[in-house]
Structure 1
Amino acid sequence: MRLSLLRPVIDRPGPWATVYADISHGTEDAEKQQELTASATTAQLFALGADEATCGAVHEALVTRREGEPQSHAGRVLFATNGKVVLNAPLPGPPPTPFAAWGPVPRIAPFLAAIGDDPVCLVVRLDRTGADLAVLGQQGSEDAGKVTGAEWPVHRTTSSDWSETHFQAKVENTWEQNAGEIADAIRRTAQEHGAEAVILIGDARERHLVHEKLPEQLRGITYESEHGGRAAGSESDLVERDIAQVRAEQERQHVVEVTDRFRTGEGPGGKSAPHAAAGIPALVEAAREHRIDTLLVDPHGADTGRQVWVGDGADQLAVRGTELQYLGDDVRPAAARADDALIRSAAASGAEVVIVRDPERAPSGGLGAILRWTEEPTPE
């Protein structure tokens, strides 16, 4: 999971107001309900100790309708501090349990659990003359350019005359040339955006031609959809279903690969064990030393809600509030949830976070890490 979306939250000190809200607008009195939700939420934050400026910013964000927001089944998460909403992000649907929280660390874990691994996917709508490319990821859909190939000749004829047969060969050559240009654009764009999957949408012949011209590494993560195409009006709900299935499969495969590495203790680059850590004390120590490469989180694990102690810095963590050497002598220790504190620290150090929903694959207690390196033994 890429955590760049959380960068504005990770880089700022708290305290933080966190709100998970159901902002569906499907009823006739939606505006009134929105105002009631905003008022109740800010009243709860104020009671928890939030300052008036931050409460006011949250209230304003909750009553403001955002452009393009769906009419129903909508959810949002807000992170606010010092009178400003730092991040106001959509959720895939209403939160299972809307809530508001106030504390030293933002409640990040439910947001990551809601959006999942969210693999970056390159969607290519193509035909014989070119392709339109789009990247799907944390920021939604982003135009990634187009390929304009040769437009003539691209249509066969039915005659068997020699000259017509010669023309047919030119058509085949045009198709091959255009497919090569599309494949080259896919390679460049996938590399630029770090695509974890590619989906080709269009007629079968064009899809197969492009697929065959991709580098071997890309072919292994490229899928084809027989629904829809490049022409206007050719899209269908089945295309969206195919894209969702591909992204879900990529997420599943990634979780399997990461949890297998965690179980065997295999570190980045295939380095041998021991490169895994589990248990709050070991994870806190690894976070302080910036040694977490990949943090595994089961949202329902027993350790996720355990209390740890934090300072202002993302690497200021301790198992006990008396460990001032880790929290800073001039810092007043504050209690926070282990999952949120570890996610904040992992994100600040550029680590990856993987949500593991399968209890059979999750670390014991719900939290674990693959480490960047281990302590080297001291020579005797």
Structure 2
Amino acid sequence: MDLAFLHPLYEHPGPWASVYVDTSRHTEGTPHERHLTAQALARELAGQGCDEATCGAVRSALEELAHSSEPNGRALFARAGEVVLDPSLARAPLRDSALWAPLPHTAPLLELAGEDPVCVVAYIDRRGADFELRTALGRRDAGTVSGRQHPIHRTSTVDWSERRFQLKVENTWEHNATEVADALAVCQEETGADLLILVGDDRERRAVHDRLPRRLHERAVEAPHGSGSRLLDEDVEQARAEHVRRRAERELERFLAAREPGEDGRAGAVEGVPALVEAAREHRIDELLIRPDGPDAHREVWIGEDPDQLAVRRTDLKILGEQNSWPARADDALIRSAVATGAVALSVTPATDDSPSGGLGALLRWA
């Protein structure tokens, strides 16, 4: 997940109100239910010590969602009477929540907004293809490509003239597959799609897949559906979930390989809070790996005003010359450091491996 959009959260000091709200339910009573939710979450923040102005800003922002048709949910981050950032979520949170803390509680975004593959579904036949863009917010047409329209169909005879005709049919198929693959590559570049789903007969899917640029081979999957069928939402969601799982597994494999010391005796990856804090202070984190249910994710660390003012113990910050310090969750503190240094972050929950130890790890920029 590219964390650049979180920069506004670290341009101002805390404390922060962090709210996650589910907007996936839509019934006749939804506006009233959301009104009650807004009041309840504002009261919860007030009970944690949030100032009245910030509670009011959060309550007003939540009230504005009373008639929202958003399919999943919204996160709100507020301070000093102002909502600074309110990203939409790609997945609904398990429950509504509100937290008042020195840092914004951004770690849930890795699962709720982070890995949300944008998909282009290509419905392929021998004449060309229709493209459809799928995101967590819905679907829309993404273009059409038409190849040669004649000749398309084979014959069943073995006459020499018919053999020549069949060869022309083969050439037409190959030409059209190339046209579709080229157009799909352009569509992927224009939309930034993470995943390409090819729908059609086996031969047609394979012909297009083989002609895609090599850089797109890992992004393309073939759906086991017949020509002309339209993928159901659950089919797309399954493909997207599989893509996220494969990505997490690849990054874990990289992490496990880098964790072993190289010829110089140094490792290219670290795990555990003390090692990660040291790497964050030295701006060495390249990719932060977080398993939100890991015990280290909510472990307490100490922070100063700047992102690289981070320590396991409060006394360590004083040794570093920082006079002001506050306790914070380890995952949120490490994400703040990652944002400041241009690192990325990834939830490894979709993978089956239990690494990294404690739920926190990182691939390093240098050992």
Relative to the length of structure 1, the TM-score reads 0.79
Which stretch of the first structure deviates more once superposed, 179-188 or 214-223?
A: 214-223
Q: Within 2, Cα distance between the matches of 1:362 and 1:5? A: 27
Q: 1:153 aligns to what?
A: 150
Q: Does the C-alpha gap of structure 1 residues 99 and 122 become closer, same or farther in structure 2, counting only changes over 3 Å?
A: same
1:17 touches 1:50 (CA, 8 Å); kept in 2? yes
1:57 matched to which residue of 2? 57
Show CA shifts across 1:351-372 (max 9, x none).
2322233685222222121211
Partner of 2:97: 99
SS of equivalent to 2:204: helix
Q: Which segments of 5 or more consecutive residues in structure 1 lack a partner in the other structure?
A: 375-380
Identify the residue that residue 208 of structure 2 maps to in structure 1. Answer: 210
Greater Cα shift, 251-260 or 190-199: 190-199
Percent identical among aligned pairs is: 45
Q: Tell me how far 1:373 sits from its aligned partner.
A: 0.5
**Structural mapping, 1:297-336, within 5 Å:** 297-322=290-315, 323-324=317-318, 328=322, 332-336=324-328
Q: Give me the whole-angstrom Cα distance separating, in 2, the residues matched to 1:132 and 1:262.
A: 39
Question: In 1, distance between residues paired with 2:20 and 2:28?
Answer: 23
Among 204, 222, 225, the residue aligned to 2:223 = 225
Q: What is the CA–CA distance in structure 2 between the aligned matches of 1:107 and 1:315, rounded to whole Å? A: 18
* Counterpart contact for 1:317–1:327, Cα < 8 Å: no
1:194–1:293 distance in 2 versus 1, CA, 3 Å: farther
* Structure 2 residue aligned with 1:378: none
What is the CA RMSD across the aligned residues, in angstroms?
3.5
Q: CA deviation at 1:79?
A: 1.8
Alignment check: 8 A CA contact 1:58 1:85 kept: no
Match of 1:76 among 60, 74, 77: 74
> Take 1:135 and 1:8, find their aligned partners in 2: how far apart are those partners?
30
Shift in alpha-carbon separation, 1:236–1:131, aligned structure 2, 3 A: closer
Task: Please state how far the C-alpha of 1:214 moved relative to its aligned partner.
Answer: 2.2
Greater shift, 152-161 or 294-303, is seen at: 152-161
CA shift, 1:273, in A, is 4.2
Q: Work out the CA distance in 1 between the residues paired with 2:79 and 2:332.
A: 16
The aligned counterpart of 1:352 is 344
Aligned residues: 361
Q: 1:289 aligns with which of 282, 294, 314?
A: 282
- 1:44 corresponds to 2:34: no
Deviation of the 1:201 alpha carbon: 1.6
- Give the direction of change, closer, same or farther, for the CA distance of 1:359–1:257 in structure 2 (3 Å limit): closer
Give the aligned residue type for 1:235: R
1:148 and 1:359, CA in 2 relative to 1: closer, same or farther beyond 3 A? closer
Shift of 1:312: 3.5
Contact residue 25 and residue 31 of structure 1 kept, 8 A: no
**Contact map agreement 1:57 1:85 (CA 8 A) in 2:** no
Q: 1:233-277, CA deviations, whole angstroms, 9 ceiling, x for partnerless residues?
A: x4242xx3333333323322332332233333359xx99841122
2:332 corresponding residue in structure 1: 340
Residues 86 and 301 of structure 1, relative CA distance in 2, 3 Å threshold:
same
Q: Is the 8 A contact 1:126 1:201 kept in 2?
A: yes
CA distance in 1, matches of 2:227, 2:302: 54
| Cα deviation, residue 67, structure 1 | 4.8
Contact 2:126 2:173 in 1 (8 A): yes
- Report deviation, 1:15: 2.7
Alpha-carbon shift at residue 77 of structure 1 (Å): 2.2
Q: Which residue number in structure 2 is paired with residue 184 of structure 1? A: 182
**Greater Cα shift, 25-34 or 337-346:** 25-34
- Give the residue type in structure 1 aligned to 2:17: A
Partner Cα distance (1:162, 1:170) in 2 = 13
Distance 1:305 1:17 in 2: 17
CA 1:220–1:23: 2 relative to 1, 3 Å: closer
How many angstroms does 1:219 deviate by? 3.2
Give the TM-score, by structure 2 length: 0.82
Is the 8 Å Cα contact of residues 187 and 215 (structure 1) preserved in structure 2? yes
Quickly say closer, same or farther: Cα 1:24–1:144, change in 2 above 3 A: closer
CA distance in 1, matches of 2:180, 2:354: 39
Report if aligned partners of 1:201, 1:227 keep a CA contact under 8 Å in 2.
Answer: yes
TM superposition shift of 1:200: 0.6
Cα distance in structure 2, aligned partners of 1:197 and 1:41: 37
In the alignment, is the contact (CA less than 8 A) between 1:310 and 1:327 conserved in 2?
Answer: no
Aligned to 1:32: 32
Give the deviation of 1:338 after TM superposition: 0.5
Amino acid in structure 1 at the alignment position of 2:42 = T
2:259–2:270 Cα contact (<8 Å) kept = no
